[in-house]
Structure 1
Amino acid sequence: MKFASEFRDPVAARALLTAIAAKVDAIGATKAKPLHLMEICGGHTHSIFRYGLDKLIHEGIEFIHGPGCPVCVLPMARVDECVEIAERPGVIFTTFGDAMRVPGHRKSLMQAKADGADIRMVYSPLDALELARRNPGREVVFFGLGFETTTPSTALSIQQAAREGLTNFSVFCNHITVPEPIKALLDDPDMVLDGFIGPGHVSMVIGVHPYDFIARDYGKPLVVAGFEPTDLLQSVLMLVTQIAEGRAEVENQYARVVPEHGNPVSIAAIADVYERRPSFEWRGLGEIDASGLRIRPKYQAFDAEEKFGIGYATGRRNVPEIEGCACGSVMMGKLKPTGCPQFGKGCTPEMPLGALMVSSEGACAAYWQYGGARVAAE
């Protein structure tokens, strides 16, 4: 398979592992005192475990799992607000499948659907637009969530709705941005991080320069990486090479997909439709300044928060997490999923306590799928 199989070549992977080991030995990192490299994206976390890179790589490298799962970082209050909108008469609530089983304080969207709410899984906000066209007597709400990767498609859908004059379509906007939580982690005195594996899909939209502050202000290297095993190994080699040479730069391993300055059409759509929120709550990280997006006043007719008087429009937030759930610590890289006392016991994919166990990019789901179930049983 072109553009995939060549990045899964075992010969190339072994060569990269050997080169990484030589650099790590030269740095003097060991299992007792490893280099801590954070992969920000949950897709990278799953690739690392799917291909066993955590076991193949030099023991002087420790992967730290970051807050790069947009479903996982959503606070419970926002899930509760989704349910509240969905349970209103006349509403068709639409969402990506990842969000269906994320627990809220009262119930998940899946449970609300079972209780009679009209909740439908869609593959794109354009599917929600089509539902609005076909159901003029119903309010169709799209659950807009995700990092910069999914933000443009929601923005373009809102622009299309405005052109058509659709009055029964709105977006519950929970789009968030990547650079701000990285800064929050770097400002945490308890975090020990030596470098970052930068997100590939997000960077495809925003380019590489939004990460410049990481190298410039904090002296930490970042390498934007692809998702195949040799992509990740090459990005690790680029990071340890920088560390060995005393450099801190932003580099782009995923240049075949990620342009330096991002996608101008997507960036323009985002700028037209959204503005920064003063702050936004992240699970485990709390309120982070300017880390969330909201719909601009010119598109207020399509803002579900304003239309339904919910969310930050009313100031309701900070619903406490379920007792015993350590999702916040896992997302901050302070705890491995298997270190959570509920992992594989009170929290499983069938009966999850937290979003990290049910999201396709969740760290707990990765651990469970690729060996954590065995660990939990031991």
Structure 2
Amino acid sequence: MTLGTDIAQKLSEVVDTDIRIMHVCGTHEAAIAKYGVRSVLPPQMKIVMGPGCPVCITPQGEIDAACELAERGCIVCTYGDLLRVPGSKTSLEHVKGDVRIVQGITKAVEIARQNPDKEVVFISVGFETTVPTVAATLITNPPENFSILVSHRLVPPAMKWLMEQGEADLHGFILPGHVCAVMGYHEYDQFKVPQVVAGFEPEDILLALLMLAEQIKNGEAKVENAYPRVVTYEGNVKAQNLMKEVFTPSDVEWRGFPVIPDSGLALKPEFEAFDAQKKFDLVYEKITKKDGCICDRVLRGLADPSDCKLFGKACTPRVPVGPCMVSHEGACRIWYQYQQKR
């Protein structure tokens, strides 16, 4: 008997009532779909997706601002995942301008040094995982023609908002291993709900689910770590201090969500020269959803991708209608790729 089979057997013995577990990491959804984790779960246990894809929760107003910068003649540097995310009128893939795919901020700075007569803007998107590298780069004093469009989001405030709404009827959370590797998991002590940090192998996820099921059965609500080979309680304190030196929490909108207090990051005054929004006087417009896309409901754990009437028809990875069909961390893209079933 393999480890995964053994854990699945124990799960079937522990779970004796309906349980809804949410993960907040797109990489977890990719692993769950790829390895068929749902197929070995007890029928009473359901895993739902949360806002775990940073590309998916980037509002259309920020995509529109990035497209506007390209149209103004800036060199816009972006991760490839963001290229096809629809704005209200176009995407970075189709906008008229100089848009370049980079692996990270250091390449964008290199492009700025190579093009001193052009403004270069890096779309700085991501959860806590990508922030330390950005902070470390800004501390090195990049060239004056370089700036960033800050689109970072923080996971705990979004979890708090979801729990306050109570709309998804959640019994526990799988915590994101990548984020917790940087931030630790001390921030999650505030939530009196079963939570387990998980890695990304199928056995990691099954173990986290078993630990959650045991907490729920025993009436417990605590934070446990099923990923100790990578994650510690304190996290990477040096990386956290870098973040605090450059950024401060801010109230921001998430696509599919309202403005969530302290769920984003803004540059501190001493680094505002690198703030593209201020430098180019950009306004993030609030865009009202008009199409039939249900990405907002998928990101809140209220629907599966296959519930959408556009899924796999009008909306595909090549021609996406909503952001969840774009990124490799997007639930719709993952379900399309692996033909995931409920």
TM-score band, normalised by the shorter chain? Answer: over 0.9
> How many residues are treated as equivalent by the alignment?
341
Residues of 1 paired with 2:237 and 2:118: CA distance? 35
Residues of 1 paired with 2:201 and 2:276: CA distance? 38
1:22 aligns with 2:6: no
- 8 Å CA contact 1:322–1:353 kept in 2: the answer is no
More helix by share: 1
Residues of 2 paired with 1:174 and 1:352: CA distance? 21
Select the residue among 173, 178, 183 that pairs with 1:206: 183
Residues of 2 paired with 1:189 and 1:183: CA distance? 10
Following superposition, the deviation at residue 57 of structure 1 comes to 1.3
- 8 Å CA contact 1:76–1:321 kept in 2: the answer is no
Q: In the alignment, what sits opposite 2:43?
A: 59
1:48 aligns with 2:32: yes
Report the RMSD for the aligned CA atoms in angstroms: 1.2
Q: In the alignment, what sits opposite 2:82?
A: 99
Residues of 2 paired with 1:173 and 1:156: CA distance? 15
- Compute the TM-score of the two structures, normalised by the length of structure 1: 0.88
Query: What per-residue deviation string (whole Å, max 9, x for no partner) do you get for residues 99-138 of structure 1?
Result: 00101111010001xx3x1111000100011111111111
Select the residue among 66, 69, 72 that pairs with 1:82: 66
Identity %: 40
Select the residue among 111, 128, 135 that pairs with 2:94: 111
Following superposition, the deviation at residue 171 of structure 1 comes to 0.6
Deviating runs (4+, > 4 A) in structure 1? Answer: none
Q: In the alignment, what sits opposite 1:280?
A: 252
Residues of 1 paired with 2:219 and 2:206: CA distance? 20
Q: In the alignment, what sits opposite 2:109?
A: 129
Query: What per-residue deviation string (whole Å, max 9, x for no partner) do you get for residues 65-118 of structure 1?
Result: 0100000011111110110011112x1110111000101111010001xx3x11
Following superposition, the deviation at residue 190 of structure 1 comes to 2.0
1:260 aligns with 2:244: no
Residues of 2 paired with 1:266 and 1:246: CA distance? 35
Following superposition, the deviation at residue 283 of structure 1 comes to 1.1
Following superposition, the deviation at residue 317 of structure 1 comes to 2.6
Residues of 1 paired with 2:207 and 2:275: CA distance? 42
Query: What per-residue deviation string (whole Å, max 9, x for no partner) do you get for residues 314-340 of structure 1?
Result: xx4311124111110110011111111
Residues of 2 paired with 1:198 and 1:189: CA distance? 18
Following superposition, the deviation at residue 191 of structure 1 comes to 2.2
Following superposition, the deviation at residue 186 of structure 1 comes to 0.3
Following superposition, the deviation at residue 60 of structure 1 comes to 1.4
- 8 Å CA contact 1:143–1:171 kept in 2: the answer is yes
Q: In the alignment, what sits opposite 1:307?
A: 279
Residue 249 of structure 2 aligns to which amino acid in structure 1?
R
1:177 aligns with 2:168: no
State the SS of the aligned residue for 1:223. strand
Residue 179 of structure 1 aligns to which amino acid in structure 2?
P
Q: In the alignment, what sits opposite 1:6?
A: none
Residues of 2 paired with 1:47 and 1:188: CA distance? 28
Residues of 2 paired with 1:350 and 1:176: CA distance? 26
Select the residue among 217, 239, 254 that pairs with 2:212: 239
1:358 aligns with 2:330: no
Following superposition, the deviation at residue 345 of structure 1 comes to 1.9
State the SS of the aligned residue for 1:293. strand
Residue 16 of structure 1 aligns to which amino acid in structure 2?
I
State the SS of the aligned residue for 1:109. coil
Query: What per-residue deviation string (whole Å, max 9, x for no partner) do you get for residues 7-64 of structure 1?
Result: xxx701000001111111xxx22xxxx2000011111011001000011111111001
Following superposition, the deviation at residue 175 of structure 1 comes to 0.6
- Compute the TM-score of the two structures, normalised by the length of structure 2: 0.97
Following superposition, the deviation at residue 222 of structure 1 comes to 0.4
Q: In the alignment, what sits opposite 1:11?
A: 2
Residues of 2 paired with 1:335 and 1:305: CA distance? 34
5+ residue gaps, structure 1, are 1-9
Q: In the alignment, what sits opposite 1:72?
A: 56
